[in-house]
A and B are shown apart, each in its own frame.
Chain A
Amino acid sequence: MYKDKKFFDLSYYKFTGSWAWILHRLSGLALIFYLSAHIWVISTISKGPEGFNRVMGVLASPLFKLLEIGLWGVILFHAFNGIRVVIVDFWKGSLNHKKLFYIMIFIAFALWVAGGYLIISHM
């Protein structure tokens, strides 16, 4: 007998639900990475105000502002798809899960644009 060892079948056709799940996992990993980096940045305050100000100076650069806009998008996707998963699991959302996905994406996108505009206008 032959058993394929791969844990994910990349060749399987992706439907809306699969994409929502894959993106949810990836955005979750991205948020774990962000939180670790965030804790490290905050921890520099233990080395006195100079070190902390230096790190904060780097983070004020336009590149990090752009990354912040990206982070805002990742948070919104993860949050709103998370709400969708709860509705699917506990509130009969599975009957309209595709529609629900696009509604959530639309709300997340609108908030992303609004928040992104605020970030850029404060640059």
Chain B
Amino acid sequence: MSKEKRVIKILRYDPANDKKPHWVDYTGEYDSDSTILDVLNEIHWKIDGSLAYRRSCRSAICGSCAMKVNGQNILACETPIHKFKGKIKIEPLPGFSIIKDLVVDMDLFFEKLKKVKPYLIVDKPLPDKEFTQSPEEFEHIRESVTCILCGACTSSCPSLWGNEDYLGPAALLRAYRFIFDTRDDGANDRMDIVNDKNGIWRCHTIFNCMEACPKDIKITEYLSRLKVKIVENSI
């Protein structure tokens, strides 16, 4: 494995001392297949222990380490540094408030998620054993259930930068996931919530969410299907 010298720029912010975030440069030698998270760990453990960032599973499943690197939202744990040429600029997720360094406030994000009732609502009597779906029925939601709620999509959305009350792609995708679940009976309720001035119609099909999604979920496509369903329901 070849080591190479890389310049890492990190947007640092300490609420106790800084008014605004500022860039700090770190230079080090890293393996070309190190991930962004490896680099952050290296800096945190050996150079500056005060660097704050979220991490947990380092296997792209917990959704903790989403951040903006060289102008694009990614998961730090699954993105190798050889993907980026020249300086590597690491910033917290845009559109969210910064708590410290790369740690952002996700409260609003999860509040919006709760708004769309992200759980199965069943009116009919539950079956005694498993509540099954056919493979064809599951196919509608197969991709959308893989969302790990990292926030990369919602944070990449220009509609959200302009209006922080917008539900955002992650919450809307979760609404899709339950509305198109054949076992669920809460579709009308959820469609009323989503069909709001800060709801799905603020999606202007910019596709930043689809580019940012680490799970390659075709978010815009599912939001479009939801738009069609809402229109069909109201005529």
Contacts and interface: CB of A to CB of B under 8 A. Distances in A.
Interface of A: 1-4, 6-9, 11-13, 15-18, 20-21, 85, 88-90, 92-95, 97
A13 B73 CA distance: 9
A17 B203 CA distance: 12
A110 B156 CA distance: 33
14 contacts: A1-B98, A2-B13, A2-B21, A3-B98, A4-B94, A9-B94, A9-B158, A21-B158, A21-B204, A89-B224, A94-B205, A94-B207, A94-B210, A95-B221
A88 B208 contact: no
Given A12-B72, A18-B208, A92-B224, A2 B98 contact: yes
A20 B98 CA distance: 30
A2 B15 contact: yes
B55 interface: no
Nearest to A90: B228
Contacts of B18: 2
B70 interface: yes
Interface in B16-44: 18, 20-21
B3 to A, nearest CB: 27
A7 B161 contact: yes
Interface string B202-235: 0011111011000000101100100110010000
Given A2-B98, A12-B72, A12-B158, 17 more contacts: A2-B21, A3-B98, A9-B158, A12-B156, A15-B211, A17-B205, A17-B206, A17-B207, A17-B208, A17-B210, A17-B211, A17-B220, A18-B158, A89-B224, A90-B228, A90-B231, A92-B224
Interface in B176-220: 204-208, 210-211, 218, 220
Contact of A12 (B13, B68, B99): B68
Contacts of A89: 205, 224, 227-228
Contacts, number: 85
A21 B206 contact: yes
Contact of B162 (A3, A4, A8, A94): A8
A4 B68 CA distance: 14
B220 A97 contact: yes
Contacts of B228: 89-90
Contact of A1 (B71, B105, B204): B105
B161 A88 contact: no
A13 B220 CA distance: 18
A4 B155 CA distance: 13
A4 B21 CA distance: 10
A1 to B, nearest CB: 4
Contacts of B71: 11-13
Contacts of A94: 205, 207, 210, 218, 220-221, 224
Interface string B65-91: 000101110000000000000000000
A98 to B, nearest CB: 8
